[in-house]
Amino acid sequence: MYNIFFLALRRLRVPLITLILIYAVSMFGLVLMPAPPGQPALDFFHAFYFVSYTATTIGFGEIPYTFSPGQRAWVLVCIYLSVIGWTYTLGSLLALFQDRSFLHALRLAKFTLKVRRMPTGFYLILGYGQTGQLLARALDERGERFVVVEQREERVNEVLLAGYHADVPAIAGNAANPELLQLAGILHRNCRGILAVTGDENVNLAAMMASHALRPRLLSIGRARSLHVSRNMSSFGANHVVNMFETVGMEFRMALRSPSHYRLWQTLTQLPGRPIPSLFQPRAGLWLVVGFGRFGHAVYEALVHQGYAVRVIDEESHPDLPIGVQVAGLGVEERDLREAGVREAVGLIACHDHDINNLSAIATAREMNPGLMIVARQNLAQNRSLFTAIHPDLTVVRSQIVARQTLIAMTTPLLTQFLELMQGYSVEWAGKLEEQLLGLCDGEVPERWALELTAQNKGFVHAFLAQPLPPLRLGDLSRHPDRREQALDCLALLYQYQGHDIVLPQASQQLQLGARILFVGSPKARRLMQWALESPELVDYLRTGLTPPRGAVFRWLAARKQAKPG
């Protein structure tokens, strides 16, 4: 703000000097002009008074006495001079506030000030496209603060219209610029992490490099499209790289191998509050892949890996494919689909990066073979209603995949570990756990949170150090802090202590200081649990069922009562 003030003064230098000169000339002339007979000539004080009210067109009249003709002649000059002077100055001032570069400087100054005053931890979201918006929404629902840097001005304005709970500082600019990143708070002590999800992977790479150089231990998550950029990103620092096409391949392999695991995986990684997706059960047989870009490659490899027969429909020829697998064409016409064998196929995957082509291919194929399983790739969020109407068995949305992966990486490393561990369990186990999760939040995706049993938490200090008996058990944590009989809608997925992982720990599990627990459950359960752990009294109530006496007198009375047996 400080610099803006001087910038404005500097731009207004000429008008201001003109104004000073006009005042000086007017006052000087008034003092010199002969007064009417019997009166003294005007002094500087009265001259300044007169010019001030005349120049601003207030016009009190002739003060302190009726002017002589000479004075009136000079006042005429003053009036025209001062009107010109003020018009010029005000005009320049208004022009200044219309000036794009000045407005940008003003916005930048406001943005910097807002970021500097961020009271709590915040994330830095680079890029406010579809992915950025999903992430922002998810963070906002969790009550987290964030700052947005976006290349395009109109998207920045969308931030203001989005109606987030907290004030979101947003600025238009290139996220690859380290200066801008610093203004956006990358060096701020409350900055918790940087999420580089712009559409340009090179900008993401530059931002992650900047974050690595400026704050090496900051959580940084970057989105990559191509393999070499994603390798480049993971080559430095402790950060996460989200490669959409790799993720798609991985998810699809999981879906083909074990639908239960895939659904569990979806439930644990989806944005909280959305409906849990229905079970996707792919059938064995011939699958058609329409469109063979990077997305198509990823699903093709997953299908081949699983041993399914695959035909690919694509315009360009791909010599790396085995002979007879590819059918030339866009895949939207009957001829292409018939040639690829749509009548005997069990499933079709529309992988074009163009939504209308995908929809067209699906519609044509459905007409020819109504029993076909459909997997659709949706590129633009705005086409959601079209995809809902056509109702594929599985819709893969690019922005959601990236946002989901980013949230996993952000939430807690425990979740990633659990997702890896659960792959080792049987399909029945996954199905049973899935049933439990469905019940937690009435079919909505539950929230995930990690509990670190450290000395930072008042309740844990009390339960582990001040009064270690009776031991705190896992079951105590998942009870209602007001009514102990009532269990909270949550489930412990993973208990980690000194490198040992216990998947789905028992309620009787005794807790140790330094352990970490991954919970899944309703947002309300999360709030209640965190509230309970803030106060030693509630922790005591949870593990004993008794409300300890508060205050010195009552404690003393209770101690006496205990000392007197019977």
Q: Total residues contacting another protein (rule CB under 8 A)? A: 17
The binder of another protein chosen from 37, 45, 80, 508 (CB under 8 A): 45
Looking at beta carbons only, is 7 or 502 nearer to another protein? 7
Q: CA gyration radius for the chain?
A: 35
**Residue 93 touching another protein (CB under 8 A):** no
SS3 content of the chain, % helix, strand, coil (to 5): 50, 15, 35
Looking at beta carbons only, is 20 or 238 nearer to another protein? 20
Q: Comparing C-alpha atoms, which of 240, 262, 200 is closest to residue 433? A: 262
The binder of another protein chosen from 1, 2, 4, 21 (CB under 8 A): 21
The binder of another protein chosen from 13, 274, 555, 561 (CB under 8 A): 13
Rounded to an integer, what distance in angstroms lies between the CA atom of residue 409 and that of residue 500? 21
Helices (H), 329-473: 334-340, 355-368, 384-390, 398-411, 413-421, 427-440, 458-460
**Residue 554 touching another protein (CB under 8 A):** no
The binder of another protein chosen from 4, 7, 41, 513 (CB under 8 A): 7
The binder of another protein chosen from 26, 27, 111, 241 (CB under 8 A): 27
Q: What's the min distance (Å) between Cβ of 519 and another protein?
A: 54
Sequence-ordered list of residues with C-beta below 8 angstroms from that of 9, at least 6 positions apart, any chain: 16
Looking at beta carbons only, is 84 or 356 nearer to another protein? 84
Q: What's the min distance (Å) between Cβ of 19 and another protein?
A: 9
| CA angle in degrees (0–180, nearest 5) for 31-37-43 | 20
Query: Which of these segments, 39-47, 55-63, 165-173, 313-321, binds another protein (CB under 8 A)?
Result: 39-47
**Residue 2 touching another protein (CB under 8 A):** no
**Residue 31 touching another protein (CB under 8 A):** yes
Structure tokens at 36: 């009417």
By the 8 A CB rule, do 243 and 401 touch?
no
Looking at beta carbons only, is 8 or 321 nearer to another protein? 8
Query: Which of these segments, 2-10, 75-83, 509-517, 558-566, binds another protein (CB under 8 A)?
Result: 2-10
Q: What's the min distance (Å) between Cβ of 43 and another protein?
A: 6
Q: What's the min distance (Å) between Cβ of 42 and another protein?
A: 12
The binder of another protein chosen from 9, 187, 363, 558 (CB under 8 A): 9
Q: What's the min distance (Å) between Cβ of 90 and another protein?
A: 17
**Burial degree of 155 (CB within 10 A; 0-12, 13-18, 19+):** middle
The β-bridge relationship of strands 347-350 and 373-378 is parallel
The binder of another protein chosen from 1, 30, 38, 44 (CB under 8 A): 44
| CA angle in degrees (0–180, nearest 5) for 43-45-49 | 115
Question: Which 152-211 residues touch another protein, going by CB under 8 A?
Answer: none
| Sheet with 490-497: strands ordered across | 447-452, 516-521, 490-497, 500-503
Looking at beta carbons only, is 24 or 279 nearer to another protein? 24
DSSP character string of 139-178: HHHTT-EEEEEES-HHHHHHHHHS--SS---EEES-TT-H
Question: Which 248-277 residues touch another protein, going by CB under 8 A?
Answer: none
**Residue 90 touching another protein (CB under 8 A):** no
Q: What's the min distance (Å) between Cβ of 5 and another protein?
A: 9
**Residue 6 touching another protein (CB under 8 A):** yes
Residue with tokens 């430095």: 236
Q: What's the min distance (Å) between Cβ of 276 and another protein?
A: 58
Looking at beta carbons only, is 112 or 412 nearer to another protein? 112
Structure tokens at 42: 């005007």
Buried b (16+ CB within 10 A) or exposed e, 461-473: bbbbeeeeeeebb
Question: Cα dist. 406→173, 242, 550 in Å?
Answer: 22, 7, 45
Question: Cα dist. 347→307, 361, 370 in Å?
Answer: 14, 12, 10
Residues that bind another protein (CB under 8 A): 6-7, 9-10, 13, 16-17, 20-21, 23-24, 27-28, 31, 43-45
